[in-house]
Amino acid sequence: MKNKLLFICLSACLFVLVVPGGVARGGAVTDTVSIHIGYFGWDEEQFVEKVTYHWRELDDLYGGILSTNEVVYSYFSGSRTYLAAGRGFYIRDLLDYAGIDFGSISRIDFFTRDQTIGPYRSFTKASLFDMPRYYFPYLAADEDTGEIYSYHGGDLYDGATRVDPMLALEDYTEWDSVGVLFSELYENTMFSAINRFRLFFGQLSPSEANTSSSAKYVYKLFITFTGTPVLSTDETNIELRVGNSFQMIVNVSAEDALLDRYVSENLIWTSDDESVISVDAHGNLTVKAEGDAVITASFGQASVSAAVRVGQNETVQIASETGAGGGTGTGSGSVAGDGDGDEDGAGVGDDNDIPYEPIANVGIHPREDAELQFIENAGSVYILSRELMSMAENAAWVSRVLGRDYTGHSEGAVSGSRGGGMGADAVQLILPLREHRSYIWVVTTAFAAFFAFGFGYGMLSFRKKL
């Protein structure tokens, strides 16, 4: 009984191994094939997965997208002939369907389930696709010497048929056979999917020995493109100031949009002088000190650089002014005028180096020794604090920042300013912040009192009715 059970188990195992569609080599038969893309010099993990297809998605007999073809291929091992009939799709059609730029391909690597390290077979695009490959129907080999000869006694190229490289979904093969005999004897009912996906590609010449290159269990293709990604930037000469922030943008041009994105996300950023500028993994520059530095973005053999100069902060020279107007001041300058709006006086006083900072709803320092002031942007009206308007040189500084001359053309001085004759239009545009806020407070209080009075009067009337 035990022997009978053992025989049944062995028979079942043998059936799995030999019956068409069975699983060989521990599940080596593949259901999916993927295409990865990259460039020379890249490691395997750097190649980007473009697409992965299930065989049913590709097989037109099952509603797939690719047309399948039944083709016979001849091979020579160096001493024996090998004939193969396969039904599958041409690799060229697969790559076209996947959106691969066929003209930019340099090499194709085929990875198989029974090859654990690296590709099983590699071809240049020229050798696999550009050079004509053939099926030789009269190729035969002497069993004793291994020499090839023509089976029908004529030329070996007689009846030769050009073939395209294929990934077979199912196939049938024989050793030591001749093409014309093999073609007459085999039937597609003899096909098996046990070797899916199988690489067939034919011969460049009758004597080409390439039987071992007919790879079984292909599950992955690596497409290596010619050249290298091209990196560029529109910012080759950058001028910054200490405290500035800046992001350098690099454009990537590769053979595929996926490679554009991959390279952009994996650029290596460096600065040749970290004491002046440092850069992070996203191209963000941190300015540390005055000086020059070169920022470089690279990936593999491709790189692009930009020169960056960090200069001194800009300064604005401000002098006390004597301008026309009805006000006189006790500050660093005196204002005397006839009230006609003309500037009759000349500036008197010492120059002040005042740091220039653009107005953008941020705190600014009109003078290094002044308290922090704020400029609030309210539409087209700039509202300044009373303290900022209390100094003639600060009013002049604000005029320079705003791009207008608000001094020396008014009928009178702004109340509370010392030596700062302000124009009538300046009074309308530049208001003391405190007074502005006080006006809002008065209006708000008036409305609140009105509604409180109305509510109280209504409640009193209601009680009288009760």
Contact 306, 236 (CB under 8 A): yes
pLDDT at 362: 36
Q: Which residue has the higher pLDDT, 376 or 120?
A: 120
Question: What is the residue-averaged pLDDT of the chain?
Answer: 75
Model pLDDT for residues 411-423, shown as the tens digit of each residue? 333 333 333 333 3
Q: What are the CB-based long-range contacts (under 8 Å, 24+) for 396-399?
A: 396/318, 396/319, 396/320, 396/321, 397/316, 397/318, 397/354, 397/366, 398/366, 398/430
Q: Going by C-beta distance under 8 Å and a sequence separation of 6 or more, which residues neighbour residue 143?
A: 176
CATH 2.60.40.1080 residue ranges of the chain are 230-311
Q: Is 305 left (phi over 0), alpha (psi -120 to 50) or beta?
A: beta
Length of the chain: 466
pLDDT band at 461 (very low <50, low <70, confident <90, very high): low
As a whole number of angstroms, the distance between CA 20 and CA 154 comes to 37
Which segments of 23-132 are extended strands (E)?
Answer: 32-39, 48-54, 69-76, 81-90, 105-112, 121-124
- Return the H-helix or E-strand segment holding 297: strand 291-299
21-225 carries CATH number 3.90.420: yes
pLDDT digits (tens, 9 = 90+) for 260-295: 999 999 999 999 999 999 999 999 999 999 999 999
Of the pLDDT bands very low, low, confident and very high (cuts 50, 70, 90), residue 23 is very low
Give kind and range of the element (H or E) at residue 169.
strand 166-175
Q: CA nearest 238: which of 315, 305, 313, 316?
A: 305
Among the four given CATH numbers 3.40.50.20, 2.60.40.1080, 3.30.565.60, 3.40.50.720, the one describing domain 230-311 = 2.60.40.1080
C-alpha 100/C-alpha 256 separation (Å) is: 8
Task: List Cβ<8 Å contacts ≥24 apart for 386-391.
Answer: 386/416, 386/432, 386/433, 386/434, 386/435, 389/414, 389/416, 389/417, 389/420, 389/422, 389/430, 389/432, 390/416, 390/417, 390/418, 390/420, 391/331, 391/332, 391/366, 391/417, 391/418, 391/420
- For the cut 80, the answer to whether the pLDDT of residue 41 exceeds it is yes
Mean of the pLDDT values across residues 54-65?
Answer: 96
Name residue 308's beta-bridge partners: 238, 293
278: tokens are 């440092």
Q: Tell whether the model's pLDDT for residue 24 goes beyond 60.
A: no
Residue ranges, CATH 3.90.420, the chain: 21-225
Q: How confident is the model at residue 358 (pLDDT cuts 50, 70, 90)?
A: very low
Cα(331)–Cα(10) distance, integer angstroms: 110
385 has pLDDT over 70: no
**Residue in this structure with the two tokens 């290159």, named with its chain if needed:** 213
**Buried b or exposed e, range 371-386, using 16+ CB within 10 angstroms:** eebebeeeeeebbbbb
> What does the pLDDT average to over 219-242?
93
